[in-house]
Amino acid sequence: MVCKTFYVRLTIRILFITLTGLLFAICLFYLPNISLIALIGIALVLQTVSLIRYVNRINVRIENFFLAHLNGEVPDIAETNRKNKEFFRLNEYFSRINKEQENIRIKTEIQNSYFKTIIDQTTTGLLSYTGEGEVDFVNDAARKIFGIYVLRHIRKLDTIKEGLSKILLDLGPGITQLVPIVINGELIQISVKKTKFKSGDRLLYLVTLQNIKSELDTKEMESWQKLIRVLTHEIMNSITPITSLVNTISRIYRERDTGRILQPAEITAQAIDKTVKGLDIIETRGIGLVDFVKNFRDVNKLPKPQFEKIDVNGLLHQIKILFDDPYSTETAKLKISCPAELTILADRHLIEQVLINLIKNSFEACSETLNPVIRLSAYQQYDRTFIEVEDNGKGIPEVVMENIFVPFFTTKEKGSGIGLSLSRQIIRMHGGTLEFHSVPGEMTIFTIRI
C-alpha cells in the first residue's frame, strides 16, 4: 500500500531509537552522569513520540479521507501527492476512489435530471408527502394546477379549497376521487389518486392530480347530445302519429276537391267511427307523452338523501324476500354474500330502489339462461363499501353499453329507460359510483361503490 520510502524512513527511525536506548542503558549502568542520562532519555522520548506520530499519519490520512466523503467533500489528492510522496500509492488508491465516486455522482445527477425532466413535462400533477402532511416533492404540473409555486405542507392547499388537505390525508390508497376546486374564478375538476411507498426508512404518499375538466366537458356534451337524440326520438314517436291522425280526421270533414267543410247532414256513420278511433289513438299517444314528461321530471327531481346507518347484511336479506314470491316460478336463484358487521351511511329507501332495479334487470337478463344464478354481495376495501349485483344472463351488447345510463334509452318494449339513469344519480348523490362490467352472452356485474 505504501512505497519503499516509508519503509526506509521507518527502519531508520527504529534504528535510531534502538541505538539511543542502548546508549541510555550504558550511561545508566556504567556512566552514572545525571545530566547525560537525562539528555539521552529526553532524546529517546522525543524519538519515540516522533515515530508514533509518523506511523499514525496513515491513520490520519484514511480518517480525513472518509470524513471528507461523509461531509460531501472531495479532497485534493493531487496536491496531497506532491506533499507526501512516501504515501503516493495510498493517495493513488484514494484518487481512484474519488474518481469512482465522482462518476457515480455525475451518473446519479444525470439520471435525476432525466427523471425530473420527464416528471416536469408530464401533464399529470405529482405530489408526495409524509403522513404528517410535510411535502417531499411537487412537480410543475401540480404547481400549475393549484397556482402555488412554494408548497412545504399540504395544509396550504386549504387556502384553495377548505378541507382539501384532509381529503388528501384521508383518501385511501388506490382510490380515485373527483375533487372540484375553484382556481382564479374557474371551476375545475381534479381527479385524485393516492398510493404509498417507502423511500429509505420514510413512508411517503404519492398523489396524482389530473385536471379532467375538458374531458368532463366533452363527456357532458356527448351525454346531452345522446339525451337530445333520445328525447327527440321519443317525442317524435308520439307527435308524428298524432299529427297524421289530426290531418286524416280533418280531411274526413272536408270535400276532397274544394276543401269545403261538410255539413252535419253530410257526415256518415263511418266518418264518425273513424273519428272516434282516431281520437282514441290520439288520447293514448297523449297519455304516453304525458307519462314520458313525468318520467323526465322524476329524473330531475330526486329527493335529497336522508342519511342513516344501515346494516347492509339485513338490507340485502330484506330485499331478497321481496323477490321470493314474484319470482317463485322462475329458475333463477338469488344468492347473498355479506359480512354480518358491515354498515353504510346512506338513505335506506333510495338504496333499496337502486338494488331492486338492478336485481329486476338481472332476473330479466336471465330469463333465457340455463341454470341462472344472481349473486348479491357486499364487502369493504379500505374506507369504501362495495355492493355487487352479478348474473350469468345474456349480458349487455357492446353497441348498447355506452348508452345504458342515458336517460330514456331502453331496449325493452315496455321500458321507460330511466331505471339505470336514476340509479346512477342516486349513488352519485351518496358520493359514490355505479359502474358495470359485462361479457355479452356470459355475464353482467353492476358495482356500487360508496
Mark whether 238 and 203 lie in a shared domain: no
Span 243-264, mean pLDDT? Answer: 78
Using 50, 70 and 90 to split pLDDT, how confident is the model at 12? confident
Q: Which of these three, 268, 300, 332, is where a domain ends?
A: 300
Mark whether 345 and 444 lie in a shared domain: yes
Mark whether 341 and 253 lie in a shared domain: no
Q: What percent of the chain has pLDDT over 90?
A: 3
Mark whether 191 and 86 lie in a shared domain: no
Mark whether 315 and 437 lie in a shared domain: yes
Span 147-170, mean pLDDT? Answer: 85
Using 50, 70 and 90 to split pLDDT, how confident is the model at 332? low
What's residue 327's pLDDT?
40
Mark whether 409 and 318 lie in a shared domain: yes
Among 48-52, 123-127, 325-329, 343-347, whose mean pLDDT is lowest? 325-329
What's residue 239's pLDDT?
73
- Asked if residue 114 is part of any domain, the answer here is no
Q: What is the CATH number of the domain that holds 187?
A: 3.30.450.20
Q: Which residues pair with 288 in a beta bridge?
A: none
pLDDT at residue 128 above 70?
Answer: yes
pLDDT at residue 356 above 70?
Answer: yes
| 206: CB partners within 8 A, 6+ apart | 126, 127, 128, 194, 195, 196, 197
pLDDT at residue 154 above 80?
Answer: yes
What's residue 14's pLDDT?
85
Using 50, 70 and 90 to split pLDDT, how confident is the model at 328? very low
pTM: 0.46
The residue with cell 393549484 is 146
Mark whether 429 and 332 lie in a shared domain: yes
Mark whether 368 and 266 lie in a shared domain: no
Q: 121-158 burial, b if ≥16 CB within 10 A, otherwise e?
A: eeeebbbbbeeebebeebbbbbbebbeeeebeebebbe
What's residue 386's pLDDT?
92
- Asked if residue 112 is part of any domain, the answer here is no
- Asked if residue 113 is part of any domain, the answer here is no
Q: Which residue has the higher pLDDT, 86 or 332?
A: 332
pLDDT at residue 417 above 60?
Answer: no
Using 50, 70 and 90 to split pLDDT, how confident is the model at 387? very high
What's residue 408's pLDDT?
56
Provide the domain count of the chain. Answer: 4
Q: Which of these three, 300, 322, 355, is where a domain ends?
A: 300
> In whole angstroms, what is the distance from residue 336 CA to residue 379 CA?
11
- Asked if residue 32 is part of any domain, the answer here is yes
Mark whether 380 and 416 lie in a shared domain: yes
pLDDT at residue 124 above 50?
Answer: yes
Q: What is the CATH number of the domain that holds 315?
A: 3.30.565.10
Q: Which of these three, 174, 191, 211, is where a domain ends?
A: 211
Task: Tell me how far apart the terminal alpha carbons of the chain are, to the nearest angstrom.
Answer: 70
Q: Which residue has the higher pLDDT, 302 or 153?
A: 153
pLDDT at residue 326 above 50?
Answer: no
pLDDT at residue 360 above 50?
Answer: yes
- Asked if residue 116 is part of any domain, the answer here is no
- Asked if residue 57 is part of any domain, the answer here is yes
pLDDT at residue 413 above 60?
Answer: no
Mark whether 18 and 44 lie in a shared domain: yes
Span 430-445, mean pLDDT? Answer: 86
Mean pLDDT, all residues of the chain: 76
Mark whether 289 and 329 lie in a shared domain: no
pLDDT at residue 209 above 70?
Answer: yes
Q: Which residue has the higher pLDDT, 87 or 46?
A: 46
What's residue 324's pLDDT?
62
Mark whether 91 and 52 lie in a shared domain: yes
What's residue 224's pLDDT?
63
Structural domain boundaries, residue 230: 217-300
- Asked if residue 115 is part of any domain, the answer here is no
Using 50, 70 and 90 to split pLDDT, how confident is the model at 7? confident
pLDDT at residue 240 above 80?
Answer: no
- Asked if residue 117 is part of any domain, the answer here is no
